[in-house]
Chain A
Amino acid sequence: MPGILTRLINISRRRSPWVFRLNSGSCNGCDIEIGPCFCPRYDAEQAGALLQGSPKHADILLLTGPITLRTRDLVKQVYDQIPAPKAVIAIGSCPASGNIFAGSPTIVGSAEEVIPVDLYVPGCPPRPGSILEAIRTAAGLLEQGKTRSQQEARHG
């Protein structure tokens, strides 16, 4: 019986990924591209995804923008507020490499230094289709227990 329940919960994690958006100093370009994912053309609700206003309700964190020094602690705080299991998707080139801000003294070089990122969606900005694919992939990772936070929890 517990085996069935665990399996059911794992499937549910894939079927209902709730998303929280976090802008850590982005130019808003990527945030604008996340919007259409939940509008008629892409409609992520078909995959069970919903935008949530509170990180406590979310499963997936969508991070946009290079992490500036002023938002670094806040990003960590919001990440800690998401209940486990959770996945992090870094949207756009900024969180990955700093993009055009690379080398700036006011940003953290890569999001990797602040929180464990599961998926990167490159682009400046990426298209909504690729963001949607990342959400579905992250939901699959949550089902299999393969997100980095889940693996860290398992291996201590």
Chain B
Amino acid sequence: MADSLLHTLFALLVWPGLLGGTVLAWFLSWLSRKLTARLQGRQGPPFYQPFFDFFKLVGKQALLPRGLHPALFYGLPLFGLIAVVFSLALLPVSGAPGLSLSGDLILLVFLLEVPALVDVLAGFATPSIYSQVGSAREALLSLAYNLPFISALIAMALYLGSFRLEDFANAPIGPVTVLAAIALFTALLARLKMNPFSIPNAEQEIVGGVHVEFNGLPLALFELTHALELAALSGVIALLFLGPVSAPWLRLLLYLLGSILVVALASLVSAATARLKVQHAFRFYWTWGAAASALVFAAALIF
């Protein structure tokens, strides 16, 4: 009993949870910024940039917006952060104690949805027109991107006959995994609010969207949550390709390489595209996203 509690704490706080997850997340978000900068012909930030950004925001005064309850101002970002840390802790990565339980995939889908939910709530709670527009867009977009995201995961579960993440990490690479990865990747762009789906946080139209009134520590927590979300989502895609190897260090290497590759691809797409309107993004997900989901399901039933 005490042993399993220790294992849970280790997974949550050290690896793949808060501590190790943050290091990986900061590295990945630096990589994304650096690649975007290089693609735009700039040099980009040094690799420790997300670290300093976080601590600077922690050290700033927190100004409570008028009309927003302090419990919401501090509680919402913290709730989102906790959810995303739990979702990271569920990932069956080498070195992790493995909190495997049957049906943890469903838990993961739920936990990964929490940061978006928190963003919507934070936007609506804030008395600013920009954050309200941002949160309406985010809510609408979550109806769109969840179609390929959830159907890809369900199709994989159907194919493997299990809702366990451990079985996902041991799945053989085939047409189903590749198609599922593609469907997950399209959803990842909107989940992370990257171009062409940077609609809820469009800085040129609605000055950053839902976080416009947040500052200081709550903003730092939101930034950290976003980075951890990047690590968790790219990690979920990387998990699908761990199947063929069994050596733990090789699996870890493959997991990290997979995450890096996913982030690099996402940065490439986001640097090469312009922002869509929300109705166009919606149409994209309900045509091409639906097509991708249908293909994954077909592949899962055939192979």
Chain A residues in the interface with B (C-beta under 8 A): 8-13, 15-16, 39-40, 43, 45-46, 48, 52-54, 56-57, 59, 81, 83-85
- B31-64 near A? 1/0 per residue, CB < 8 Å: 0010001001111111011011111101111110
Within 8 Å of chain A (Cβ to Cβ): is B219?
A: yes
Bound form: Cα–Cα A149–B219 in Å: 22
Other than A10-B59, A85-B60, give 8 A-B pairs with Cβ distance below 8 A.
A12-B59, A15-B48, A15-B52, A15-B56, A46-B45, A53-B203, A56-B215, A57-B219
A56 touching B52, Cβ below 8 Å: no
| Residues of A close to B53: CB separation below 8 A | 12, 16, 48
Bound form: Cα–Cα A84–B48 in Å: 23
A9 touching B63, Cβ below 8 Å: no
Bound form: Cα–Cα A85–B60 in Å: 7
Within 8 Å of chain A (Cβ to Cβ): is B212?
A: yes
CB distance from A67 to the nearest CB of B (A): 22
Can you name 13 A-B residue pairings with CB atoms under 8 Å?
A12-B51, A12-B56, A40-B40, A43-B37, A45-B33, A46-B44, A48-B46, A48-B49, A53-B207, A54-B207, A54-B212, A56-B213, A56-B214
Closest residue of chain B to A40 (Cβ to Cβ) is: B41
Bound form: Cα–Cα A48–B56 in Å: 11
CB distance from B30 to the nearest CB of A (A): 11
CB distance from B32 to the nearest CB of A (A): 13
Bound form: Cα–Cα A12–B48 in Å: 10
Given A45-B37, A45-B42, check contact A9 B215 (CB 8 Å).
no
Given A54-B208, A56-B214, A83-B216, check contact A9 B59 (CB 8 Å).
yes
| Residues of A close to B45: CB separation below 8 A | 45-46, 48
CB distance from B125 to the nearest CB of A (A): 15
Q: Give the residue among B33, B46, B56, B213 with the most A Cβ atoms within 10 A.
A: B56
| Residues of B close to A52: CB separation below 8 A | 208
Given A8-B55, A40-B41, check contact A83 B208 (CB 8 Å).
no
CB distance from A36 to the nearest CB of B (A): 11
Bound form: Cα–Cα A48–B57 in Å: 13
Bound form: Cα–Cα A119–B42 in Å: 27
Given A54-B207, A56-B214, check contact A48 B52 (CB 8 Å).
yes
CB distance from B101 to the nearest CB of A (A): 37
Secondary structure of the B contact surface, majority rule: loop
| Residues of B close to A46: CB separation below 8 A | 42-46
CB distance from A25 to the nearest CB of B (A): 21
Bound form: Cα–Cα A81–B60 in Å: 13
Given A40-B40, A43-B43, A45-B42, check contact A83 B52 (CB 8 Å).
no
Give which listed residue, B52, B58, B208, B214, contacts A11 with CB less than 8 A.
B52
A57 touching B44, Cβ below 8 Å: no
A59 touching B56, Cβ below 8 Å: yes
A16 touching B60, Cβ below 8 Å: no
CB distance from A57 to the nearest CB of B (A): 6
Give which listed residue, B41, B49, B60, B203, contacts A83 with CB less than 8 A.
B60
| Residues of A close to B63: CB separation below 8 A | 56, 81, 83
| Residues of A close to B215: CB separation below 8 A | 56-57, 83
Give 3 closest A-B pairs by Cβ, nearest first.
Answer: A9-B59, A53-B207, A12-B56
Bound form: Cα–Cα A56–B213 in Å: 6
CB distance from B216 to the nearest CB of A (A): 6
A16 touching B42, Cβ below 8 Å: no
| Residues of B close to A11: CB separation below 8 A | 52
